[in-house]
Amino acid sequence: MDDAMLLPCGHSFGYGGIHRILQTNTCISCGVQISGECLTPNLALQEVVKAFRHEQKNRKALSRKKQRERFIQDHNAITYPSIRAPRLRTLRELELPFKVGDNVMIKGNKRTPNRFVNREATITAQCLNGWFMLRTQDNGEVVKLQHRSFMKLE
């Protein structure tokens, strides 16, 4: 698409599409009759394609750099196990002290509706990133809360 051309009907094509259009004298997208002299370069699309290719090239270079860094880290971890940097744990990997079926007391945080604060609930489901679905024990309302907004009852 470095050679994008704009047709009078508004469609743009690269060399392959323009070659077909010039053979048939019709737009392959909408069927409008086209003459060869009404083609104009689509400079905006050419710039977008150029920027996209430049970005892709930068991403590939960055990806290769990251792969090289990972290789070096892995090599160092095998060769020098005591030097390996500790791996940071993500929230998904954290061991949370809650499981489905536990009874909890809702403490609340800034986003917790006041009607749920200081109520007992049962965990009905665990969602991603430390979120849990709770069902209140007194009237069965369901609420989704973060693990920091409730505490386990003994």
In this predicted structure, what is the pLDDT of residue 120? 95
Residue 87 counted as domain residue: no
The one-letter code for the residue type at 65 is K
Query: Do 60 and 101 reside in the same domain of the chain?
Result: no
What's this model's pTM, rounded to 2 decimal places?
0.40
In this predicted structure, what is the pLDDT of residue 75? 66
Residue 25 counted as domain residue: yes
Band (pLDDT 50/70/90 cuts) for residue 81 is low
The one-letter code for the residue type at 9 is C
In this predicted structure, what is the pLDDT of residue 106? 93
Say if CB 122 and CB 134 are below 8 A apart: yes
CATH code where residue 127 lies: 2.30.30.40
Query: Do 109 and 52 reside in the same domain of the chain?
Result: no
Say if CB 110 and CB 94 are below 8 A apart: no
CATH code where residue 64 lies: 3.30.40
CA gap 90, 75 in Å, rounded: 23
Band (pLDDT 50/70/90 cuts) for residue 105 is very high
Domains in the chain, number:
2
Say if CB 8 and CB 38 are below 8 A apart: yes
In this predicted structure, what is the pLDDT of residue 137? 94
Residue 103 domain boundaries: 93-152
Query: Do 15 and 62 reside in the same domain of the chain?
Result: yes
Of 25-29, 53-57, 142-146, the poorest mean pLDDT is in 53-57
Say whether pLDDT at 85 is over 60. Answer: no
Query: Do 65 and 99 reside in the same domain of the chain?
Result: no
Query: Do 12 and 65 reside in the same domain of the chain?
Result: yes
Residue 131 counted as domain residue: yes
For 77, what's the count of Cα atoms within 13 Å in the CB-facing half-sphere? 10
Of 15-29, 70-84, 122-136, the poorest mean pLDDT is in 70-84
In this predicted structure, what is the pLDDT of residue 18? 83
